[in-house]
Amino acid sequence: MEYKLFRNILNKQIFESSKRDLLEKIAEHPERYIGLFRPTKPKAKILQNLLQSNEIRFGDALEIVFEKYFEQLGFTNLPKKINLEEEYLDLDQLFKDKKHIYFIEQKVRDDHDSTKKRGQFANFEKKITALIQEYDESKLKCFTYFIDPSLIKNKKYYSTELLKVQSDYNIFAKLCYGKELWEEINHPEVWNELLKYLEQWKREIPDMPSINFDDDPESTFEEIKSIKFSSFRKLFNNKIICKEILPIIFPENKSLKLLHQYFSQQKEQHNICKTLSNNIMEYIKLS
């Protein structure tokens, strides 16, 4: 894979809609960011939220990266949604070659607590049941895969459960960490490339995400203008949000001025756009 494609996938999946998502969360649940019974101030909570979101999105981005790798290696990607008794299950990876069908349940790291690991494995077995009904079970190769090899908190549990599944279902089932998966599919060189690309990508991204959305007002405006009218109403009609949160995110009001101009020019949905335009301008004047 070319590094440019790798970088673009990660940047798009992790950062592209982070501003919009944050504002929607603040609109729906402002109490998560402000209040006396929190050990953090709003600025720290906003930053924490962005960091947690980026961690989750990183795992989603790697699913797409791996899918591209499998495709470029000559495997055929299969539909990832499968039906089990009218319940649709989402698979992380499903692809085939001439001999086998590969199912991979992938997570970034093995750091789950007892409840979560059991729930995750139960979900893994449910997906195997669905796959057996859909495909030739003699061709199935099923993997529980953790990308980060530095964390192996529950290795004994997963290994034991996978041995039971392998015996009871009479299928191939294995636990892998890091490079082990790529060795299983005879492409260990991908792991080395992945490490090299991640090192390069991490040198390019900022040390911390910016919570000043006015750093790049045009980009911010393009991202947030599609937020639902109801969310905008909640943001600008909430006095505490206007006082304690919006000044942190929009310290110079540059993005909001573009948003005000945008709503003032809308002909469709005229009444609500006019209301939002007035609300934004009123906030700007008061701030």
What pLDDT, on a 0 to 100 scale, did the predictor assign at position 167? 94
What pLDDT, on a 0 to 100 scale, did the predictor assign at position 269? 62
| Shared domain check, 84 and 55 | no
Contact 108, 147 (CB under 8 A): yes
Average pLDDT of 26-45?
89
Share of residues in the chain with pLDDT > 90 (%): 88
Reading the block at residue 72, the tokens are 């470029």
Of the pLDDT bands very low, low, confident and very high (cuts 50, 70, 90), residue 78 is: very high
What pLDDT, on a 0 to 100 scale, did the predictor assign at position 270? 72
Domain assignment of residue 67, yes or no: no
Contact 80, 124 (CB under 8 A): no
Reading the block at residue 221, the tokens are 């405006």
Domain assignment of residue 200, yes or no: no
| Shared domain check, 158 and 78 | yes
Number of domains in the chain: 2
Domain assignment of residue 167, yes or no: yes
**Rounded distance, CA 105 to CA 235, Å?**
38
Domain encompassing residue 95? 74-186
| Shared domain check, 99 and 34 | no
Give the Å distances, CA to CA, from 132 to 72, 76, 252, 260. Answer: 27, 19, 58, 55
Of the pLDDT bands very low, low, confident and very high (cuts 50, 70, 90), residue 34 is: confident
Domain assignment of residue 163, yes or no: yes
All residues at 6 or more sequence positions from 58 whose CB lies less than 8 Å from its CB, including other chains: 10, 14, 108
Residue environment code for 24-46, b if the CB has 16+ CB neighbours within 10 A, otherwise e:
bbbbeebeebbeeeeeeebeebb
Contacts 24+ apart (CB under 8 A), 28-37: 28/231, 28/234, 30/234, 30/238, 30/240, 30/241, 30/245, 33/245, 34/240, 34/241, 34/244, 34/245
| Shared domain check, 234 and 166 | no
Residue environment code for 131-166, b if the CB has 16+ CB neighbours within 10 A, otherwise e:
bbebbebeebbbbbbbbeeeebebeebbeebbeebe
| Shared domain check, 90 and 57 | no
Residue 162 is part of a domain; what is its CATH number? 3.40.1350
* pLDDT one-digit tens code per residue, 156-189: 999 999 999 999 999 999 999 999 999 999 999 9
- Strands 76-77, 101-107: pairing is unpaired
CA angle 170-174-177, nearest 5°? 175
* pLDDT one-digit tens code per residue, 20-29: 999 999 999 9
Domain assignment of residue 69, yes or no: no
| Shared domain check, 24 and 88 | no
Domain assignment of residue 199, yes or no: no
| Shared domain check, 181 and 80 | yes
**Rounded distance, CA 161 to CA 157, Å?**
6
| Shared domain check, 170 and 105 | yes
| Shared domain check, 178 and 256 | no
Q: Looking at 186, 220, 252, which one is the last position of a domain?
A: 186
| Shared domain check, 94 and 12 | no
**Rounded distance, CA 40 to CA 48, Å?**
10
* pLDDT one-digit tens code per residue, 213-271: 999 999 999 999 999 999 999 999 999 999 999 999 999 999 999 999 999 988 766 78
Q: Looking at 186, 219, 246, which one is the last position of a domain?
A: 186
| Shared domain check, 180 and 117 | yes
Q: Looking at 186, 215, 232, which one is the last position of a domain?
A: 186
* pLDDT one-digit tens code per residue, 113-170: 888 899 999 999 999 999 999 999 999 999 999 999 999 999 999 999 999 999 999 9
Contact 213, 246 (CB under 8 A): no
Residue 85 has pLDDT above 70, yes or no: yes
| Shared domain check, 79 and 50 | no
Q: What is the dihedral of CA 51, 52, 53, 54, to 10 degrees?
A: 50
From 256, 246, 282, select the one nearest 34 (Cα to Cα).
246
Higher per-residue confidence, 189 vs 40: 189
Contact 130, 82 (CB under 8 A): yes
Domain assignment of residue 240, yes or no: yes
Domain assignment of residue 66, yes or no: no
**Residues constituting the chain:** 287
Mean pLDDT of the chain: 94
What pLDDT, on a 0 to 100 scale, did the predictor assign at position 238? 95
What pLDDT, on a 0 to 100 scale, did the predictor assign at position 176? 98
